[in-house]
Amino acid sequence: MNKFYHTLKTLFLLGWSIFVVFPFLWALSTSFKDANAITSGATYIPWVDFEPSTQGWTSLFTNGSQGINIVGPFIDSAAVTLIASLVSLILGTLAAYGLSRFEYRLGFVKNADITFFFISQRIMPPIVLAIPFFLMLKELGALDTIFGLVLVYVALLLPIAVWVMTDFFAGIPKELDEMAMTDGCSPIGAFFRVILPNSVPGLVVAGMFCLIFGWNDFFFAFTLTFTETQLLPVSIVSLNSSVTPWWSLSAFALISVAPLALVAIVVERYMSRGTMSGAIR
């Protein structure tokens, strides 16, 4: 009976893994194909099914008609995502700590309402925000600049940071801050000396969400940039001209997924480690 379940479980997980990994394997194999190999039906294994070519990869680092240079968009994307994530994380963590430890009252508005206000910004469909953002950036002269995009992305990522960190701080016993204060810390000192060092898992999760959403955003990058600044998701779409260079597209996709995959691997060990154990029984 147990053995049967075990086999069933293994088979299911195996099937699911193939389903998940297949697109990546397909993209990898396609990135080494040339036009011939692609048009002649589905093939899988290099040297056996088709003759591999590095054209897809080299095209990403050459300018001109042969392809698009990926280096510029990669740097732009990295800059916008990192700066926006960092700003969101700092502001979000401070806001979340305040919301979890102090009681605010602005007329009838209380902590829960403020938290909802933050999160509500993600309820609206992005299309509603596109035109106002466009007009605002235009007034600021920040259209098609990294600065403008950072502004917009902070507005989008801050709710995520606040949401994740409020939840995380709520799980840290408030006795820990109180103890820090009785031990001679000011309220802000308690935050930096005691709460922040114990918040690494929460910061990692919030940071990762920010990176993922920032890095993958296409819609705002598409509406708010033209030529000067170009982010990866937009450039990938611009490859899609009359004849689609599937090989370049596949290589491009793999490169743009790589940083997030790397982040996930590094971060995974932080997330599985419960550092709060021992603070409170």
Partner 1 sequence: MLQIDHLTTAKAKVSLDNVSFLFEAGNIYTILGRTGAGKTELLRALMGLNPLINGDIKLDKENITKRPIRDRNMSLVYQQFINYPHLSVLDNVAFPLRRQGKKKAQAQALASTMLTTVGLGDFLHRRPSQLSGGQQQRVALARAMVKQSRILMLDEPLANLDYKLREQLREEFPRLVADNQESVILYTTTEPREAMELGNTMIVMHDGEIIASGPPADLFAHPPTKDTASVISDPPISFISGFVRDQVLYFGEGQLAPSEGLQLPPDGPVTIALRPDAIEPGGAFTAKIGLSEFSGSQTIIHLDFDFGRAIMMVEGIETFKSGDNLSISIQAEQMMLFAPDGRNITLRDN
- DSSP alpha helices (H): ranges in the chain? 2-31, 35-39, 55-58, 71-101, 111-120, 126-140, 146-170, 174-182, 187-190, 200-216, 219-224, 232-238, 246-271
Query: Residue 277 has what DSSP assignment?
Result: B
Closer to partner 1 by CB, 51 or 183: give it.
183
Per CB under 8 A, 278 contacts partner 1: yes
- CA-based nearest residue to 82, from 231, 192, 225: 231
Q: Does 270 bind partner 1 (CB under 8 A)?
A: no
Give the residue from 101, 91, 96, 129 showing the smallest Cα distance to 114.
96
Among 7, 182, 240, 244, binds partner 1 (CB under 8 A): 182
Taking the least distance from each CB to partner 1, the nearer of 23 and 189 is: 189
Q: Is 179 in the site for partner 1 (CB under 8 A)?
A: yes
Asked if 275 is part of the footprint of partner 1 (rule: CB under 8 A), the reply reads yes
Minimum distance from CB of 189 to partner 1 (Å)? 8
Contacts of 111 (CB under 8 A, 6+ apart): 99, 103, 104
Q: Judged by CB under 8 A, does residue 194 bind partner 1?
A: yes
Please enumerate in sequence order all residues whose Cβ is within 8 A of that of 25, keeping only pairs 6 or more positions apart, or say none.
none
CA 27 to CA 65: how far, in whole Å? Answer: 22
Site for partner 1 in 54-113 (CB under 8 A): none
> Which of the residues 198 through 257 are near partner 1 (CB under 8 A)?
198
Locate 95 and state its tokens: 């806001």
Name the residue nearer to partner 1 (CB basis): 51 or 175: 175
Q: Which is nearer to partner 1, 3 or 281 (CB)?
A: 281
Q: Which of 18, 44, 183, 240 touches partner 1 by CB under 8 A?
A: 183
Given the rule CB under 8 A, which residues bind partner 1?
Answer: 173, 175-176, 178-186, 189, 194, 197-198, 275-281
